[in-house]
Amino acid sequence: MKIGFIGLGNMGAPMAANLVAAGHEVTGFDTAGVTVEGVAQASSGPEAAKGAEVVITMLPNGQILRAVADEVIPAMDKGATLVDCSTVDVESARAVAAQAADAGLGFVDAPVSGGVGGATAGTLTFMCGGTADAFAKAAPLFEIMGQKAVHCGDAGAGQAAKICNNMILGVTMIATCEAFALADKLGLDRQKMFDVVSTSSGYSWTMNAYCPAPGVGPQSPADNDYKPGFAAELMLKDLGLSQQAAEAADADTPMGKAALDLYRRFVEDEDGRGRDFSAMLPRFEKRGRG
């Protein structure tokens, strides 16, 4: 398949490399001039998109997605499909979907879970919104870049699923870190805490698979001085998207709002920027009740 790939950053570059390794013809573009072995380099987004059956974008936010779509959609052949793997606001995904439909193109919003490690290993999960036909066209590529792709519904449904998932993730990580900090102050051994909670009703992904306490549970960023697997500033971004969506939908999400406020403080006022989102644990360790 002839594929255009726009946005060859930490996530996009390994995703594009996996498509090349599977035998696809990939032409890429990134504003930073990034090159990926086996990916033909275009001088612009429209050049990367020209003649492609599928164009994949992996971009920082909805504003940039809309700007790229304005340039790229007119350059795409009718019947081609635009697949956006960025994590953006639901409104931007739906706006670009409508724009693509007006131009005779398919569109899938397909944000991912799995981080840079998953992008490199080809084990991402794709949460997808769009028509059944557009999803079917992109599905073989999802199989190469990931281990699972779920068609969640119409345009924007993929972003909705990602936002809701990561709101749970942010809230749960804070609760897990709070509990470890409380256990410390109560004199409870961290390994014993893990042994109980990981097999009891407090079980969660943040405890069992991504434990924020160094030396406890499987390997995680906590064991690497909290170097990011998923950076705190990315969690802040996703929690911001969840609250933007909650406001638009008139949904009451007090825990999501509290998590946003805490991660904002952690990233903007404390030492959270550039650290893993699980570095909330040393933050709570240092703090008292006040």
- The pLDDT tens digits of the residues spanning 78-131 come to 999 999 999 999 999 999 999 999 999 999 999 999 988 899 999 999 999 999
- Name the fold adopted by 2-153: Rossmann fold (3.40.50)
For 249, residues 6+ apart whose C-beta sits below 8 A from its C-beta are none
Nearest to 230 by CA among 200, 289, 260, 275: 275
The stretch 59-68 carries a mean pLDDT of 97
192 is catalytic: no
Q: Give the whole-number percent of the chain exceeding pLDDT 90.
A: 97
Token digits of residue 26? 């990939």
Q: Which of 50, 137, 162, 237 is catalytic?
A: 162
**pLDDT tens, 160-210?**
999 999 999 999 999 999 999 999 999 999 999 999 999 999 999 999 999
Residue 115 pLDDT: 87
Residues of the chain with CATH 3.40.50.720: 2-153
- CATH number, domain 160-286: 1.10.1040.10
Distances (CA, A) of 225 to 88, 177, 213, 215: 29, 15, 10, 11
Residues of the chain with CATH 1.10.1040.10: 160-286
